[in-house]
Amino acid sequence: MTQSLAGPIETVSHQVDRLTIQIDDSFDGFRKRYERAVPVFDRERFDSLVGRGVDWQTILEVTADNAPHDFILYWSHDFTSLMSLAGDRGRCVEYLMGNHTIAERMYRYNPAILLYAPLRTAIVEDADGATWFTVDRPSTRFSSFNTPQITQVGIELDHKLAALLEHLEAPVPAALTQ
């Protein structure tokens, strides 16, 4: 008979609000505006800073330069061509968008927040040609950690996401500004 060496297991059920926002622009037009507003993570620069062992204040300053609207793209992939092989007509680009300096303010309380940071977003064009932006409401993800400091940063991320959408001239769900 084998005995389990596993420790306690915690299961957390939580509700997540997915925000799906219709965009009054073409897929390509909104994608260009989004990628301009949320620039790609400058991996070489940050790797160099880590290698030099700079202080956190330097990281904060360099990150602010890399994230003019508080967010950076860490990864993206356009799945359109792959899915078209199955005959699908819709388009979709998925992104991991976030800010490691904001995530650190939660990470110090529970490193597992990286399960949801960076945020997962998608720009979609449906079969009818309508463009959509989809993201899970950050506060509904981070509140599941039941830590007031993490929950507060999740609410702050709601507000930063609202500001980004406003900058992109996209509709802002009321839930993000409460």
121 domain residue, yes or no: yes
37 domain residue, yes or no: yes
7 domain residue, yes or no: no
178 domain residue, yes or no: no
79 domain residue, yes or no: yes
Digits of tens for pLDDT over the chain (178 positions)? 545 566 799 999 999 999 999 999 999 999 999 999 999 999 999 999 999 999 999 999 999 999 999 999 999 999 999 999 999 989 999 999 999 999 999 999 999 999 999 999 999 999 899 999 999 999 999 999 999 999 999 999 999 999 999 999 999 999 999 8
159 domain residue, yes or no: yes
CATH number of the domain encompassing residue 143: 3.30.310.70
Strand order in the sheet with 18-23: 18-23, 131-136, 119-125, 91-98, 72-78
Domain carrying residue 85: 18-171
Of 96, 121, 92, 97, the closest CA to residue 27 belongs to 92
Look at the chain and report how many structural domains it folds into.
1
64 domain residue, yes or no: yes
For residue 165, give the 3-state DSSP assignment.
Answer: helix
